Structure 1
Amino acid sequence: MAPEAGALAGLVAHAASLGGSRRARGAVERGRSGTGLRRARSRLPGVLTIDLAKSPEDRAAVFTIRGAVFVAEQRVPIAEEPDSRDADADHLLARIDGVPAGTGRLVAEGELGVLGRLAVLPEARGTGAGAALVRAIEERARELGLAEIELHAQTHALGFYERLGYTARGEEYLDAGIPHRDMRKPLH
């Protein structure tokens, strides 16, 4: 059973155990609740942890995730992934129940932090891992005394970053054949 299907089945079972009506269980199955919330299942997967990727195993997981998302899924040329900034970056690794699920990196440039290479595996999307990674990278930037975060967002993800407080700047451009826009967020 797919993780999403299993999570949804678990939510339905939970609703039933609480004495939920047939109508309530049906709403849960359709992804709705009496409050109008549609994403309850996104909170169901297990424990989400985010750590700096320091060990060789963690670093391997980072590059495996990036390869799966950027190279295999988005068709970024292998020559562009990884890149020269990886050596100077802090890489963060998100795990769900101990299983690698997503990654992102932070490169410090003076007082500016550059958030990049944010990637979440398809089966972990909708769990909050992406937003949690962004917040963890922002916290790491604060620890390093950085004043602002910049990122180069794929245009389909602009709304995601806007919800996290980022503002688009400049014109759209292509990077690896994918439309992007620069975004920034002050940290103080």
Structure 2
Amino acid sequence: MIVKIVATDEQLKDAYYVRRTVFVDEQNVPPELEIDDLENEAIHFVGYDNDLPIAASRLRLVENYGKLERICVLKGFRGLSYGKQIISKMEKVITDKGFTQAKLNSQTHAEEFYQSLGYQTNSGEFMDAGIPHVTMIKTL
């Protein structure tokens, strides 16, 4: 997979396609919650496999940390380390911008995956878009 920082309208459409497929179509997140008013302040990422968009995420630089958001991989491509690759690219952008901490809200079923990448849970469980989540942090 090749991970790109979104630089064109077409790449942004590709990222939104992956996000919509995973979050809206698969997980039943309402479309108005998936695409929100924070899109314009985010750095977007899209992962391609042979020119096919298969992964996406966004990153916001907030206060003193990078906030990883909307991390997703299409169903047929999970378990191939693509999530790890896109997160690695996001973490590099965070450190390149001079930040030393990453934060994310993980769906509880993915908590172990993020723990395997060095993230530590620092909240109790809470609901977001009808899905249980926890907040996790990592020092980079």
Establish whether TM, by shorter chain, passes 0.5: yes
Q: Aligned pair 1:77/2:30, yes or no?
A: yes
The answer (yes or no) to whether the contact 1:111–1:145 under 8 Å persists in 2 is: no
CA displacement at 1:110 relative to structure 2: 2.6
Give the aligned residue type for 1:107. Answer: R
Residues in 2 aligned to 1:77 and 1:107: alpha-carbon distance in whole angstroms: 21
CA displacement at 1:98 relative to structure 2: 2.0
Work out which of the residue numbers 127, 134, 137 in structure 2 matches 1:181.
134
Residues in 1 aligned to 2:123 and 2:24: alpha-carbon distance in whole angstroms: 26
Work out which of the residue numbers 137, 154, 158 in structure 1 matches 2:107.
154
- Judging by fraction of residues, say which structure has more strand: 2
TM-score w.r.t. the length of structure 1 is 0.73
Residues in 1 aligned to 2:16 and 2:31: alpha-carbon distance in whole angstroms: 12
- Judging by fraction of residues, say which structure has more helix: 1
1:124-156: per-residue Cα shift (whole Å, max 9, x none)? Answer: 112211110111100011111112000000000
Give the aligned residue type for 2:138. Answer: K
Residues in 1 aligned to 2:50 and 2:17: alpha-carbon distance in whole angstroms: 18
Moved over 3 A (4+): none
Question: What secondary structure does 2:122 align onto?
Answer: strand
TM-score w.r.t. the length of structure 2 is 0.97
Unaligned runs of 5+ in 1: 1-47
Q: Which has the larger radius of gyration?
A: 1
93-102 vs 158-167, which deviates more? 93-102
Q: How many residues align structurally?
A: 140
Unaligned runs of 5+ in 2: none
Which structure's relative contact order is higher, taking Cα pairs within 8 Å and 6+ residues apart?
Answer: 2
Question: What secondary structure does 1:139 align onto?
Answer: helix
**Sequence identity (%):** 33
Residues in 2 aligned to 1:81 and 1:52: alpha-carbon distance in whole angstroms: 19
Identify the residue that residue 118 of structure 1 maps to in structure 2: 71
